[in-house]
A and B are shown apart, each in its own frame.
Chain A
Amino acid sequence: METLYADEFYFLGLIVLAPLLGAIINGLLGSRLPRKVVDWVACGAMAFSFVFALISLQGLVNHGANYDGEDGFGPHLTYTVYQWIFSGDLQADIAFLFDPLTAVMVLVITGVGLLIHIYSVGYMADDPDKWRYFTYLNLFVFAMLLLVLGQNMLVTFIGWEGVGLCSYLLIGFWYNDEQKAAAGQKAFIVNRVGDFFFILGMFIIFYTAGTWDYLELHQMATSTATVAQLLPIAFPAGLLIFLGCTGKSAQIPLYVWLPDAMAGPTPVSALIHAATMVTAGIFLLCRLNWLITLSPALMAIIAVTGALTAIVAASIAIVQNDIKRVLAYSTVSQLGFMFMAVGVGAFVAAIFHLMTHAFFKALLFLGAGSVIHGMHHEQDIRKMGGLRKLMPWTHATFAAATLAIAGVPLFAGFYSKDLVLWNSLANTHVLNVQGVIENIRAMLPEDRLQELEVLLTDEVAAAITDAGGEAVEVVTWALALNWGVYLVGLLTAGLTAFYMFRLYFLTFWGENRSDEETRAHIHESPGSMVGPLSVLGVLSVIGGYIGWPHFLARYFPEGLQPYVLGLEHWLADVFLVADQYRLVGRFGESPYLPEAISAGAAIAIAGAGIFLAYVMYIKRPELPGVIHERTTRLYDVLMNKYFVDEAYDFLFVKPTLWLGKASYWFDRYIIAGLLVGGVAFMTQNLGQVLSNLQSGNVQRYATYITVALVLIFIAIYFGVM
């Protein structure tokens, strides 16, 4: 490793190149290659990519060992491929950056991606267009890697749109079905709405900072001399970028495309719409953590949006009957959790949950795919049941994932979800600008200090400057926000446990409710599908062991300490700034007891959710019907997803089309008809009109003279002339 320089670490290029080559080979030749070769090319490309990612990881570890902290960014490797655009002061390179944050993302993408590719070999075995499927899938991984590896925002944006394209292609993979094609289109266009904001955010950043390079931006944001320049744009730019993230990561108000996206093949849902693409927004905000933490108001907006999305989506998931739709809303809800974590400044928790979620949600989708595959494309859970015995491997792994997402201790989801909840309660994130304020205070002359307040949302700034940054509890709405977010998160955790176990019980327990013919054919899936399920099953259990709660971590032996808090240590350098700005939590330095209580609450509510599901769907299966009878109206609202789709159609789609029609009318009859046509008409007829004047009719001449005289009289009288 010593021979490789940290700024020319070409393995980063190879990580990206492998899936691109796979896509090119399959895309150009796939239709003529034997099906086995297509499989090998696609999976081989992913395997290479994964290996290169591991090598880069080792490189990063080596580099970190003798990292001198010179540039303040923390240990990182870079690789510049070529210069893409330049014009004047804009220099945009295709360049890659590999730091601990990217490392986590790349490993998840290539690792889980590899498993899903292998799974797809079995799942798509009968599809004649399998080569096209693998082309798109490899292309997706390529774009996703660009997104997370980009050294500047432009490369990130290329990947950002690239994954949108692949998502479009894969959702509409069976394009002959009108609805599936429409779902793909909806996904792309809703994402474009997000990209609209993203681009504008990028422009604002470039206007102020003159660069999109993360290293340079980071330098600006962390240096006392320059941070004051970034402060005024932190809110507008951050908000625009956050809105972009709500598109890609399916948050309120742009989450509507994700449930429809389930039209694609199930492995696609697992890879794109659960494990990787939809987490791009969380990744981006974490990447820009030093920017968004400059604006407390923005952080609050992110936290509230995340919390709201989490609970809204969870409530919809309760009543859905399509196995994939339940999982889709569950994904939206879990993504909301991650945004919640970002919003309260708990970036490590967000990434931690992102990672464990990638494991267990991919597993859930793949399990669902296995079920659908086994039941001949039946997706309605009301027609399932009793699959426990018929599909033992699928059942075992699905159960592990369900336990994980429900937050049962010792399973991965528990650790990350607990960390998110605990941080949302404990962080006093709204005060994280204090360091910045100090910097500006040092820079500004005495008589201009009051301008400080203009920079920040008035209330907060006033409170902080008044109290000299000491008082933690002065900002009452911050306290309310913390509690609100925490309680909503807790409630969502309970709902999650409930709807997931409802899904699990309905699918795998009880009697089989399908028709005779289907029942006769139900079978366990082939090895290429069960294999990845098992690996993900193991990961869904042990994936959380790198982030034990602090109150438990201290009981581990000394040698294990770095590992039981592994992720936190690994990402410490990345979120250094965010941590610096974040004050010590509300509960003091080592709040073991409150933390334990919070964890206990989470376990209790998860248990309650599971118990309720057990009662309703195993013990007394008639209960759901009774409840349904009593709450028809609420049920309808939930079943129709709060009518958001209809509202958007009414508010945005219809008016836009109407505007288009109106413009078209305007174009034809006003611009082309009246103005242009009028000019033409006048030219044609003017001669005729003038010739009419000279008619030889004396009375008419007299009229002209009279009119003219009157006009002259009026003109003179009113002094116009």
Chain B
Amino acid sequence: MVELTSMFSALAAQPMLAQAASGEGGFPWLTLTTFGPLLGILALMFIPRDQIEALRNTALLTTIGVFLVSLGIMVNFDPGVAAGAGEAFKFQLEHGPLEWIPALGIQYYVGVDGFSLWLVMLTTFLMPIAIWSTYSAVDKYVKEYMISLLFLQVGMIGALVSLDVFLFYIFWEVMLVPMYLIIGIWGGKDRVKAAIKFFLYTMLGSVLMLVAILYVYLQAGADSFLYTDLLAVELSYTEQFFLLAAFFLAFAIKVPLFPFHTWLPLAHVQAPTAGSVILAAVMLKLGTYGLIRYAFPLFPDALVVYAPYIALLAVIGIIYGALLALVQENVKKLVAYSSVSHLGFCVLGLIAMTPAGLAGGMYVMLAHGIATGGLFLCVGMLYERRHSKQIADFGGVSKVMPLFAAFFGIIMFGSAALPGLAGFVGEFLSLLGASQSHFLSFGEYLFYAPNGSETTIPLPERFAEVNPVDSVTWGPEMTAFIFTIGGTLGVFLGAAYLLWMFKRVMFGAIKHDAVREMPRLTVREIGVLLPIVIMIIFMGVYPKFFLSYMDPSMEAYLTYMDEQVTQAVESAEADEERAPIYGEVVVEPLDPEWVPEGSMWDRALDRVDE
């Protein structure tokens, strides 16, 4: 109890501390959310390691506290604030910039917009659930485990809210260490190999990214790592080409996109349940988040050439991941491969550069976070009862654990994109966005060709014959539609592997006596799964709630990308040697009548006034 009170007092002291630190501006919700877990770590330090319950409770209460504070972000975030002309992003609830390492111009600066808001909320929402799920799963080194998890949370939220690119990079690296430890210490049999593989893979990408960041910084010459300053840097096409490659590789490994995904199944299978949940639900999202936040808007010229290949990788990932999931014998591995497939939808939607695609990509991130997190929790519960993850070791579990069957079923269908549940909205919008895209057209260069060189590889003649009244033309639209067909195939395969797994695990006659003795869900386990189930249903029934916060940000983003790409295309056309690269490639022309619908509550109030 002593520990609890000390923790509470620490929590109570927080606002004052923060107020003191904030200086001018509003209440520093973001700083508090980011570093809140550190207070929990502080409290944990003083708790003896044999008081396991106290350690767990402290960590749980800390994360719940952070979740409550993060609700403040949501409440204070005003979706109605539109970005100014030419701005890509409009951040809110900013804190800073404060000088941190003045010699290099590194500053502390945080803020959220419609993109990062929900990812922060997702993180704070899932953390307590993940920690609560460890109560029965982890008994050794509980103290270190809790500290690792809380430290991980600091890194994740920090990376999401940073507006200084160097700060972002530091948080990005901070994230790695605890996850490395979580996999390496509390993991399964092959944990060390998995941890090293995870670490090396991610490091490889992030080192390249660091070089790229430094290059842009040096080009800017403004002595500042602020995101907005870096956005303003003028880079030549050639520079952008290589810089985007570095950024893309770092994020693609994290997502993970095919063929950079091989660390994922190993890491997932070996990681403890809470680690898998966090890894799948949040850490992978940092890859996709990095793509839209950094990689795409920083290098628009190069993106035009990259876009179709990124989409191609995404579609291959969708189908390939699903096919691999289909043949897995290990439940956890199946779910891990399903992540590869689902994240493919996300990237396909984001790269489509259409309103629907962007919204869908963002929504897939959230829905996948909740649903796959839920699936891993379910697998964890099965494992704790049966000490096996092999599908063949189960069968007929529904009879023994009816409530679990209901929860598992809802989560499973949420993941399999059943309309009315979370997964559908995102995948459907992503595919819709992809099908409407004008951005995914292969140019005449398959790969980068230096300026002035003769070695272009011409593709077959563009299909110029377009019927005047024929709107489905064989051009960028058709390329995009072929991608869409591939993606939609993934929706079908998604149902196939999930349902087949569900049938083999949950239905049929009971084949093993051990299954018959599996205990029902405990109250704690119901408490772990229930928020997820409710969220899956709510996200499917009322997606407008989430979309309304994103819409203004998306509009600003697409407007910005539209301008940048148009400029890129114009300058390329002026540059004779590169002229043929860009055909009809455009970011989806925005509907001039698009009024961002973010101010949902305002509009409701207006209606009441009328």
Contacts and interface: CB of A to CB of B under 8 A. Distances in A.
Contacts of B429: 85, 87, 90
Nearest to A193: B492
B359 A196 contact: no
Contacts of A455: 467, 469-470
A206 B436 contact: yes
A553 to B, nearest CB: 42
Contacts of B468: 448, 451
11 contacts: A84-B542, A88-B359, A162-B418, A176-B510, A178-B508, A181-B503, A232-B470, A455-B469, A455-B470, A667-B262, A680-B200
Interface stretch (B168-176, B217-225, B319-327): B319-327
Interface of A is mostly: helix
Contact of A176 (B324, B469, B500, B508): B508
B591 interface: yes
B194 interface: no
Contacts of A228: 469
Interface stretch (A389-397, A509-517, A653-661): A653-661
B359 A87 contact: yes
Interface in B478-509: 481, 484-485, 488-489, 491-492, 495-496, 499-500, 503, 506-509
Q: Which 8 A/B pairs are nearest by Cβ-Cβ distance?
A: A88-B355, A181-B507, A87-B359, A660-B327, A672-B262, A203-B435, A178-B508, A158-B419
A182 B503 contact: yes
A204 B507 contact: no
Contacts of A232: 467, 469-472
A335 interface: no
A200 B420 contact: no
A158 B262 contact: no
Interface string A660-687: 1101100100011001100010000000
Nearest to A680: B200
Interface stretch (B8-16, B149-157, B177-185, B543-551): B543-551
A660 B324 contact: yes
Interface in A75-100: 82-90
B320 A663 contact: yes
A175 B418 CA distance: 20
B440 interface: no
A185 B469 contact: no
B113 interface: no
Given A199-B431, A200-B488, A664-B324, A233 B472 contact: yes
A236 B591 contact: no
A563 B489 CA distance: 48
Contacts of B590: 88
Interface in B487-539: 488-489, 491-492, 495-496, 499-500, 503, 506-510
Contacts, number: 175
Contacts of B259: 671, 675
A721 interface: no
A459 to B, nearest CB: 18
A233 B491 contact: no
B364 interface: no
A161 interface: yes
B356 interface: yes
A157 interface: yes
B444 interface: no
Given A158-B419, A229-B471, A199 B428 contact: yes
A133 to B, nearest CB: 14
A176 B396 contact: yes
A88 B354 contact: yes
A175 B489 contact: no
Contacts of A676: 262
A656 B493 CA distance: 10
Which residue of B262, B359, B542, B551 has the most chain A CB atoms within 10 A of its CB atom? Answer: B262
Contacts of A200: 435, 484-485, 488
A360 interface: no
Nearest to A172: B507
B594 interface: yes
B356 A88 contact: yes
B492 A192 contact: yes
A86 B597 contact: yes
Contacts of B485: 200
A684 B77 CA distance: 50
B432 to A, nearest CB: 6
Given A200-B488, A671-B259, A664 B327 contact: yes
A203 B431 contact: yes
Nearest to B433: A87
A207 B477 contact: yes
A175 B551 CA distance: 43
B327 A87 contact: no
B276 to A, nearest CB: 19
Nearest to B204: A679
A199 B491 contact: yes
Interface in A200-257: 200, 203-204, 206-208, 228-229, 231-233, 236
Interface in B321-363: 323-324, 326-328, 354-356, 358-360
Contacts of A672: 262
A165 interface: yes
Contacts of B252: none
B326 A660 contact: yes
A181 B509 CA distance: 10
Nearest to B432: A203
B547 A87 contact: yes
B399 interface: yes
B479 to A, nearest CB: 13
A188 interface: yes
A231 B467 CA distance: 12
B44 interface: no
A189 interface: yes
Contacts of B510: 176
Contacts of B428: 199
Interface in B391-427: 396, 398-399, 413, 418-420, 424-425
A286 to B, nearest CB: 22
B291 interface: no
Interface string B584-595: 000010110010
Interface in B549-585: 551, 554-555
A160 B542 CA distance: 19
Given A89-B594, A181-B508, 10 more contacts: A84-B543, A88-B355, A162-B418, A196-B488, A204-B481, A207-B471, A233-B472, A451-B467, A667-B324, A675-B259
B496 A85 contact: no
Contacts of B488: 196, 199-200
A513 B460 CA distance: 72
A196 B471 contact: no
Contacts of B413: 165
A565 to B, nearest CB: 39
Given A87-B359, A207-B435, A667-B262, A165 B418 contact: yes
A454 interface: yes
A661 B324 CA distance: 7
Contacts of B499: 168, 185, 188-189
A185 B327 CA distance: 17
B312 to A, nearest CB: 16
B471 A89 contact: no
A195 interface: yes
A162 B419 contact: yes
A168 B496 CA distance: 13
